[in-house]
Amino acid sequence: METPSSTLPTTVEKVAIMQPYFFPYLGYFALIKHTDFFVSFDPVQYIRKGWINRNRVLKPNESWQYITAPIQGTDREALIKDVLVTEGDAWKTQILRQLEHYKKRSPYYNEVKALLERCFANPELSISRLNTFYLAQVCEYLEIPFNHAIFSDMNLTLGPVAAPDEWALRTSQAMGATTYINPPGGREFFHADKYIAGGVKLQFLDMHLEPYSQRRPTFEAGLSIVDVLMFNTPEQVRTMLDNISLETAQ
């Protein structure tokens, strides 16, 4: 089962470039929904205990827990594109077991379980390709377009990259994109003057997440998309994804 990847379009207006996260939070999918093309950015160092191979869901009764795709032994300097998950289905079965408690309170448990089973049927070991495949499956479930490619497959010719914030600029330029959109956490990281000089509009997307019912006293914010889907229909989630604001960097 191959990871679906869109053909690079001849023209792109709005592009997002993100490391491929493991069943990421809602804001990640808002970024996908409000751009024309999404790049899974995998030529950078894999950070242990980050979001590449794990995310958070509800724990039975209270608080939250991690669901994790364990990785094979890697060098400390390994790049995301070279990281492999552990072979076999044991970790996938473990995740499904961790989610069984949702059955008691989630109205869409069966639909989400079926979605995850489709995801987990992919035997791919590359964490970059696997996560991108999972993103595609979730977007299909939500009925939102997911025009995308994996950076290491794109064979782009980039200009000089002298600073970390220039990866997105050079990639946008190589794709002919007119606008690059980033999550809000990168405001202090990016230098707008570089983008203005490079002919690329730099914008930041803020997600305004309203609490949804998790059928428990305390709302746990910022969990994996898996949790959101357990309690909301695709239509409701699409509405959530439109609850955003865009700020243009000056």
Alpha helices (runs of H) in 164-232, residue ranges in sequence order: 166-175, 192-197, 225-231
User: Which residues on neighbouring strands pair with residue 56, listed in sequence order?
Assistant: 66
In 3-state terms, what secondary structure has residue 114? helix
What are 66-103's pLDDT values in tens digits? 999 999 988 888 999 999 999 999 999 999 999 999 99
What are 112-121's pLDDT values in tens digits? 999 999 999 9
| Chain CA centroid to CA 50, Å | 13
What is the chain's mean pLDDT, rounded? Answer: 94
What are 144-156's pLDDT values in tens digits? 999 999 999 999 9
Please report the beta strands in 97-200, taking only residues with DSSP state E, as ranges in sequence order: 148-150, 179-182
Residues 73/183, Cβ–Cβ less than 8 Å: no
What are 177-199's pLDDT values in tens digits? 999 999 988 788 899 999 999 99
The per-residue pLDDT for 224 is 98
- Largest Cα–Cα distance in the chain? 55
